[in-house]
Amino acid sequence: MQEFYKRWWLVLLLIVCGVACAARGGMLALHGRQLLEDRDGYVDIGYHVARNGTFATGFPPRPTAYRPLLFPLLVAAVFWFHGSYWHHGIIHVVLGTITVGLTFRVGQLLKLGWASVLAAGLVAIDPLLLQSTVLAMTETLCATLVIAWCWVLLEFPSQTEGDKGHRIGTALLHGVCFGLICLCRPGFLAAVGLFSVWAMAAVARNWRSSVTKSELRSQLIVGLWSLVGLASVLTPWVVRNAIVIGKATPATTHGGYTLLLANNPVFYHEVVAQPWGTVWQGDSLNEWQTRLEMQMRSAGIGRNDEVSRDRWMYRRAWSHIRAEPALFLRACVWRGLRFWDLAPWRLPAGYSILLLWGTAIFYGLVTCGMLAGLVRLSAVEWRTWSLLLLLPLTLWLTHLVYWTDMRMRAPVIPIVALLAARALTQASGRRQPTGC
């Protein structure tokens, strides 16, 4: 019987991964040329990494930390092998399929049983992840890294008893995997603080229980070695930034702009203070950006001085927040809802209105499932799920303050899909073994 279940799960996994691969391949065939649009400058940086060995942008190239490290390295790999945008797209198809497979496996490890197929299926046809297949942006890679971290966490747990070398090795692995996520999307760095709070709460809970001091010491060692693994990944980037651009940042020099973009009088009054669904018109946004450049030029800050620009924009954003606190709070609510929006407010060129409605229905069902899944988690399950759920919570809280739209949640969609699938299952331990 066990062999039968394993064979059945393998067939289902192959079907779902086949759907994921076909759907992403279809997107690439229909809209692959969108990968030529370097909207965020990642391709430009990747080109310089491949050709000059420098993380730089522009012509002549100048060192930059405006974008995170990892995705430009992926782009550089395509250039190293003289690939085209089609090869970049194929890599995205492969990463998307891997994401689906890992979602299935994580569902099995969470004891979701048949619902692990549903979770993988939701990821396979998710509109945001399908769209990211043909975008030269971080979403596809980051979603893979996020679910890979979840898999590593559950497949190779850091036990507090047993071989010390094994505990240290798995803790280092957890930290390294999370560090890669942060090098792809720095917004996840805020999770380190939430992880610390979570760990202290766990220690406090265990302190009041029958857990021995040696077990508590082991938990502390595991946490410290996880931080060592995280630091080992981030430190080279921090040191490089300190030496090359004069700022030892573990993130980027882009934060000031995204904070100011989300917190300025024009956005507050033309979007936030207007009826729900109002978008920032292109002409107004362009005028605001032009005026911003003029103000920085008047302040003696050059276009290529990333560090000074970042600090200036941070100061300006916080001054706007202090000047209009009521609108800032209203904007936080706006961003919080926008993060979980059901459909884009503007239909991308070349897409049908039916697709817009289909997207809204799909995300409406997934969101209801996510909320139901949260409610249905048992106390025992929370001990496992809480650590995974810190990632979507972190991203959501970060984008309450920084600029956001529904695309920003793409990296945590696999976790959301798992939670939605949990809504349709019984509590852990009340059904047959998963067999995988």
Q: Quick one: tokens of 338?
A: 């926008």
**What's the pLDDT at 168?**
85
Note the Cα 62 to chain centre separation in Å.
Answer: 28
Q: What percent of the chain has pLDDT over 70?
A: 90
Q: % helix / strand / coil in the chain, to the nearest 5? A: 75, 0, 25
The answer to whether 189 and 182 have CB atoms below 8 angstroms apart is yes
Residue 206 clears pLDDT 80, i.e. is over it: no
In a domain, 4, yes or no: no
DSSP 8-class letter at 196: H
Give me the DSSP letters along 234-280. HHHHHHHHHHHTS---SS-S-HHHHHHHHSSHHHIIIIITSPTT---
Give me the DSSP letters along 282-305. HHHHHHHHHHHHHHHHHTT--TT-
DSSP 3-state of 54: coil
- What mean pLDDT is predicted for residues 286-296? 94
Q: What is the mean pLDDT of the chain?
A: 89
Report residue 435's pLDDT band, with 50, 70 and 90 as the boundaries: very low
Return the axis-axis angle of helices 306-323 and 255-262, rounded to nearest 10°: 30
Q: Quick one: tokens of 384?
A: 């496992």
In a domain, 227, yes or no: yes
In a domain, 188, yes or no: yes
In a domain, 300, yes or no: no
Buried b (16+ CB within 10 A) or exposed e, 20-44: bbebbbebbeebbebbeeeebbbbb
In this structure, the dihedral spanned by the alpha carbons of residues 35, 40, 42 and 45, taken in order and rounded to 10 degrees, is 130
**What's the pLDDT at 371?**
96
**What's the pLDDT at 244?**
94
The answer to whether 145 and 98 have CB atoms below 8 angstroms apart is no
39-72 per-position pLDDT tens digit: 999 999 999 999 999 999 988 899 999 999 999 9
Closest of 283, 286, 292 to residue 264, by C-alpha: 292
In a domain, 199, yes or no: yes
Residue 311 clears pLDDT 80, i.e. is over it: yes
In this structure, the dihedral spanned by the alpha carbons of residues 87, 91, 96 and 99, taken in order and rounded to 10 degrees, is 170
115-152 per-position pLDDT tens digit: 999 999 999 999 999 999 999 999 999 999 999 999 99
67-104 per-position pLDDT tens digit: 999 999 999 999 998 888 899 999 999 999 999 999 99
Q: Which of 76-85, 157-166, 412-421 is predicted most confidently?
A: 412-421
Closest of 386, 339, 387, 394 to residue 188, by C-alpha: 394
The least confident of 232-246, 263-277, 339-353 is 339-353
* Residue spans of alpha helices (H) in 110-158: 115-124, 127-132, 139-155
Only one residue has tokens 């090359």, namely 244
**What's the pLDDT at 223?**
79
In a domain, 174, yes or no: yes
Report d(CA 231, CA 56) in Å as an integer. 24
Q: Quick one: tokens of 288?
A: 């605001």
Report d(CA 214, CA 194) in Å as an integer. 25
Whether the link from the prior residue into 60 is cis, omega within 30° of 0, is yes
- What mean pLDDT is predicted for residues 293-309? 92
Report residue 6's pLDDT band, with 50, 70 and 90 as the boundaries: low
**What's the pLDDT at 289?**
94
Q: Quick one: tokens of 398?
A: 């970060």
Query: How many CA atoms are closer than 13 Å to the CA of 275, on its beta-carbon side?
Result: 0
Neighbours of 144 (CB within 10 A): 25
Q: What are phi and psi of 430, to 5 degrees?
A: -105, 10
Report d(CA 395, CA 415) in Å as an integer. 12
Report residue 256's pLDDT band, with 50, 70 and 90 as the boundaries: very high
In a domain, 178, yes or no: yes
In a domain, 170, yes or no: yes
Residue 238 clears pLDDT 80, i.e. is over it: yes
Q: Quick one: tokens of 241?
A: 């930034």
Q: Which amino acid is at 223?
A: G
β-bridge partners, 63: 56
Range of the domain at 170: 156-252
391-402 per-position pLDDT tens digit: 999 999 999 999
Give me the DSSP letters along 9-21. HHHHHHHHHHHHH
Report d(CA 49, CA 45) in Å as an integer. 6
End-to-end Cα, the chain, rounded Å: 12
Report residue 431's pLDDT band, with 50, 70 and 90 as the boundaries: very low
pTM: 0.92
- What mean pLDDT is predicted for residues 265-280? 92
**What's the pLDDT at 208?**
60
Angle at CA of residue 170, ends 377 and 142, nearest 5°: 65
Radius of gyration for the alpha carbons in the chain, expressed in angstroms and rounded: 23
If one counts the domains in the chain, the total is 1
